Amino acid sequence: MNCEVPDRSLESKLRTKRRGDRSSRPLLVVLSGPSGVGKDTVLTRMRKLGRPFHYVITATTRPKRGGEKNGVDYHFLSRKEFQQMIDKHQFLEWANVYGNYYGVPKEEITSALSKGVDAVVKVDVQGAATIKKILPQAVFIFLMSPSVEELEKRLRKRRSESSTNLALRLERAKGEIKSLPLFDYVITSRQNKLDEVVSQIDAIVAAEKCRVKPRIVEL
């Protein structure tokens, strides 16, 4: 049996070329799911673990919750400031959610992608549907709670919702689950298994980087 020794210099060159190809085609990852499912918590953990993304900061008119920081958790804007950004077409998508406005700043995404950096954006399911129409080449991940009961526990633990809003969010979550066909991947977010969720996102990104026909996101 004759086994040829592979050309290590050629293999190294091919690896470098593949890395170059991938870095020139950065991903836009859209993380979505029902309110209270833990999207912010997952992104915070990804940052702490040093995952190399540009984390797009959503703009909102809602009041800050305890411990939140402007420019870190959200861009907290007045309604006038938010409207000015709408008028200047500075949002990739925006919506009124439970009486407050939320929007994804377009410039943050274009800046990251132009530098070859993968970007991740967090939006509700309605926002994901809008982005899907504009940028179908993005990677869409749905974060799901193990059950509606578990989701209710998480929302109650936040202590930021009135009983009316809590009921609305739970009812909406049931409808949002029906939007799963819109997404490329679904991850179940379980209590005390945050790193498992991050690992699954890592696996998704790694798989996407190995696509024969890479996603090319153009704004």
Q: What are the pLDDT digits (tens) for 58-96?
A: 999 999 988 889 998 899 999 999 999 999 999 999 999
* Arithmetic mean of pLDDT, 187-198: 91
Instruction: Quote the percentage of the chain above a pLDDT of 70.
Output: 82
Helices 39-48, 194-209: inter-axial angle, 10-degree rounding: 70
pLDDT at 206 over 90: yes
pLDDT digits (tens, 9 = 90+) for 44-63: 999 999 999 999 999 999 99
Q: Confidence class of residue 162 from pLDDT cuts 50, 70 and 90?
A: low
164 class by beta-carbon count within 10 Å (0-12 exposed, 13-18 middle, 19+ buried): exposed
Q: How far apart are CA 173 and CA 145, in angstroms?
A: 10
Query: For residue 118, what pLDDT is reported?
Result: 97
Q: Confidence class of residue 192 from pLDDT cuts 50, 70 and 90?
A: confident
Q: Which of 66, 63, 46 is nearest to 99 (CA)?
A: 63
- What are the sequence ranges of the domains in the chain? 29-209
Q: Confidence class of residue 159 from pLDDT cuts 50, 70 and 90?
A: low
pLDDT at 13 over 60: no
Query: For residue 160, what pLDDT is reported?
Result: 57
Q: What is the pTM of this model?
A: 0.80
pLDDT at 132 over 90: yes
CATH architecture of 29-209: 3-Layer(aba) Sandwich (3.40)
Q: How much is the mean pLDDT over the chain?
A: 85
Query: For residue 152, what pLDDT is reported?
Result: 65
Query: For residue 175, what pLDDT is reported?
Result: 74
